[in-house]
Structure 1
Amino acid sequence: MDHIPTPILSGIRQRCGACGEGKLFKGYLKLNDACPHCGRDMTAADTADGPAFFVGFGVLILMAPFLFLVPMSPLPIGLKLLAMAGVGAVVTLLCLWLLPAAKGILLNLQLHHMAEEANFEKSPETPDR
């Protein structure tokens, strides 16, 4: 029995949402034009800034307590600066680590649901209300 991949799990694995095998990216965040395994067209979807938005806010929500507690701690200023640099490094590395998976999820969801750019022009078949 063939396994039908889910868009979310395939996106986390950075694989094609149609076949679950082909890689989505040919670079860090550079998309393949088509799936190398099944040939699915990847140019129809555009995630824009969505992945960066979700990853950035998610990581900052997780790290916010540290960003408030470190400056208020009774540590000497040198250790506070070192701790803040460490928190900054953790935020940066978490964002860089999560960004490809978030882009893969949003791309696979767009392709799965055949999402396209909104078109608000009135078509001739649409009756007036």
Structure 2
Amino acid sequence: MDPIRAGLLCRCPNCGKGALFGGFLKVVDRCEACGFDFTRLNTGDGAAIFIMQIAGGIVVFGALFVMIAYNPPIWLLLLVTLPLVAGLSIGLMRPGKGVMIALQMRNGVGRG
């Protein structure tokens, strides 16, 4: 399996079978299927930065279009956009972090 696809599916980028996360964003220490050691890899806040920019861009430009085209009241716009940006951010965070880990593995970061 392609490492990037495995990262998107929150699977081990090395074998594509084991789970990558033990909690919501807690990366397991070792893959249960192939034994790959994830303790040397660290994504930090990289995934969060990209996800905030993607989700924020989608919601802001969508809200701008709706404001220009339909001119709804601000309270209605906030009622729709705030949960939308929160849902997009939370929903994209695990796959985003999985891709960041897969990219680190593909580029050889953390090899002893």
TM-score higher than 0.5: yes
Aligned residues: 109
* Structure number, greater radius of gyration: 1
| Residues 43 and 71 (structure 1), Cα distance of their counterparts in 2 relative to 1, 3 Å cut | same
Greater than 4 Å deviation, 4+ residue runs: 69-73
Of 9, 18, 21, 1:22 maps to 18
| Match of residue 12, structure 1, among 8, 11, 16 | 8
Structure 2 equivalent of residue 31 of structure 1: 27
Moved more, 94-103 or 61-70: 61-70
The answer as to whether partners of 2:12 and 2:18 remain within 8 angstroms in 1 is yes
Tell me if the contact between 2:63 and 2:77 (Cα under 8 Å) persists in the aligned partners.
Answer: no
User: Of Structure 1 and Structure 2, which has the larger fraction of its residues in helix?
Assistant: 2
Gaps of 5+ in 2: none
TM-score (norm 1): 0.76
CA–CA separation in structure 1 for the residues paired with 2:103 and 2:64 = 35
- Which of residues 55, 58, 66 in structure 2 aligns to 1:59? 55
CA drift at 1:83: 2.6
CA distance in 2, matches of 1:93, 1:49: 18
TM-score, structure 2 length as denominator? Answer: 0.87
* Cα distance, 1:71–1:19 mapped onto 2, change above 3 Å: same
Secondary structure of 1:21's aligned partner: coil
Kindly indicate whether residue 88 of structure 2 is the aligned counterpart of residue 94 of structure 1.
yes
Aligned residues with identical type, % of pairs: 30
Structure 2 partner of 1:110 = 104
**Alpha-carbon shift at residue 71 of structure 1 (Å):** 5.3
| Runs of 5+ consecutive residues of structure 1 not aligned to the other structure | 117-129
